[in-house]
Amino acid sequence: MSLAQGLAEELYDVHFACADGYDFCFKQTSFRRWRIDSISSQQFLQALAKGKPVYTESTLQAYVEDDLHLLKAVQPDLVIGDFRLSLSISARLQGIAYIAVSNAYWSPHVRQHYTVPSLPLTGVLPIWLANPLFRLIRPLAFASHAVPLNRVRRRHGLPSLGGDLRRIYTDADRTLYADIPQLFPPQAMPPTHDYLGAVIWAPPVELPDWWLRPELSSGRPIIYVTLGSSGQGQLLPRVLRALAPLPVTVLAATAGTIRVDTVPPNAFVATFLSGDAAARRASLVICNGGSPTSQQALTAGVPVIGIAGNLDQFLNMHGIVGAGAGLLLRADRFREAALRHAAMRMLDDGQARLAAQQLMAAFCHYVPGQRLQAHMQALLSPAPHGGQP
């Protein structure tokens, strides 16, 4: 949505396809909308939590058929997809240029440090034992996750992408990472892979009534808390309780699925908040470790505490911790006292603030819309009247 809104209407005819349930995202847009099927967020997150492949062969085959129907109807010159893995098949079958937007920590051209995420394994084993076991079985697990898409590719006469899940996640004519190399340095990255920078988006929601309350301008440090609607979201009441004794003001968003029965005196809670605006007011951001919220924090020069659960969040936080701009806590080992100590440490850590400010400056050098259009123009031939379709 953020990238599409940055495209000039006089140059590009933008068609936007997604599943039902996102009407609120389109309030300020004029895109032609199309419906496609997708598994639910709950199904997606449950698969991640169990360490199972997110998509089955039958699901991906249905996606391909849905894609082909849509591509034939729209007849686009270019497709840009965000983790719609079936597009690596359907766009090729239709001969349409395809750009995949991903995260750099899933790139085959970025070295990663793998930590065992929250899995059934970590529920029965100590982390010191689960970690080496996970690293031992990870290549096999990645290969098993790659099987469904490779089978669908073969069904349509396309070659296998092999057993490296990172190739499955990043296969496209151009692969663009919503990250910066300062967090995830490249290794022999080909010119068809590139960094976009932070692709920031916030829902078009009104600010809550308490946004201008005098307590928020008292000079006390502000902590912005949002854990999303995934497993970590259930920790929100405990996070608020952990921060209640501290001399801080807490701004929290529930994401619409978490019930907070008791709000501490130092906290203000809303269903949704404009995350970029909240981050700009904050001295510290506490989130689930995912890239969207952590990037909102870092582009505002604010350190991050990530309470990570799935592998995606651990991989993202490793880059932030390595840069000195954050701390990583485990969702499956959450302790209120540990979070309280981490928050106090980060609020007093001048080096973490400096690291976050340095990353903010680095992010400023990457304008996602401009970088995207350079790759679009490289893939598209000039239109007859000099514009781009």
Q: What are 340-363's pLDDT values in tens digits? A: 999 999 999 999 999 999 999 999
| Whole-number Å distance between alpha carbons of 319 and 305 | 13
Range of lowest pLDDT (39-53, 205-219, 250-264): 39-53
Q: What is the pLDDT of residues 294-310, one digit of tens each?
A: 999 999 999 999 999 99
| pLDDT recorded at residue 382 | 58
Q: Is 229 exposed, middle or buried (0-12, 13-18, 19+ CB in 10 A)?
A: middle
| Whole-number Å distance between alpha carbons of 134 and 198 | 30
| Whole-number Å distance between alpha carbons of 134 and 131 | 5
CATH number of 209-364: 3.40.50.2000
Q: What is the pLDDT of residues 206-253, one digit of tens each?
A: 889 999 998 888 889 999 999 986 667 889 999 999 999 999 999 999
| pLDDT recorded at residue 389 | 40
pTM to 2 decimals? Answer: 0.93
Q: What is the pLDDT of residues 81-108, one digit of tens each?
A: 999 999 999 999 999 999 999 999 999 9
Contact status, residue 224 vs residue 278, Cβ threshold 8 Å: yes
pLDDT greater than 70 at residue 384: no
Q: What is the pLDDT of residues 22-38, one digit of tens each?
A: 888 888 788 899 999 99
| pLDDT recorded at residue 44 | 86
Angle (CA) 53-57-61 rounded to 5° is 130
pLDDT greater than 60 at residue 387: no
Burial letters for 329-351: b for 16+ Cβ neighbours within 10 Å, e otherwise?
bbbbebebeebbebbeebbebee
Q: What is the pLDDT of residues 309-324, one digit of tens each?
A: 999 999 999 999 999 9
Q: What is the pLDDT of residues 156-213, one digit of tens each?
A: 999 999 999 999 999 999 999 999 999 999 999 999 999 999 999 887 788 899 999 9
User: Any idea of the CA torsion for 211, 214, 217, 221, to the nearest 10 degrees?
Assistant: -80
Contact status, residue 225 vs residue 306, Cβ threshold 8 Å: no
pLDDT greater than 50 at residue 257: yes
Give the strand pairing for 222-226 and 193-195.
unpaired
Contact status, residue 234 vs residue 207, Cβ threshold 8 Å: no
Measure CA of the first residue to CA of the last residue in the chain; give whole Å: 18
Q: Which residue has the tokens 């490793």?
A: 318
**Which two structure tokens, joined as six digits, stand for 39?**
């598994």
Contact status, residue 282 vs residue 223, Cβ threshold 8 Å: yes
- Residues ≥6 apart with Cβ < 8 Å to 9: 30
pLDDT greater than 70 at residue 378: yes
- Name the residue ranges covered by the structural domains of the chain: 2-197+366-379, 209-364
| pLDDT recorded at residue 231 | 66
The packing angle between helices 291-298 and 350-364, to 10°, is 100
| pLDDT recorded at residue 386 | 41
| pLDDT recorded at residue 18 | 94
**186: which strand partners?**
110
* CATH fold for domain 2-197+366-379: Rossmann fold (3.40.50)
Tell me whether domains 2-197+366-379 and 209-364 share a fold. yes
Q: What average pLDDT does the segment 108-126 reach?
A: 92
Q: What is the pLDDT of residues 277-290, one digit of tens each?
A: 999 999 999 999 99
DSSP track, 13-67: --EEEE-SS-GGGGTT--PEEEE-----HHHHHHHHHHT--SS-HHHHHHHHHHH
The packing angle between helices 291-298 and 311-322, to 10°, is 20
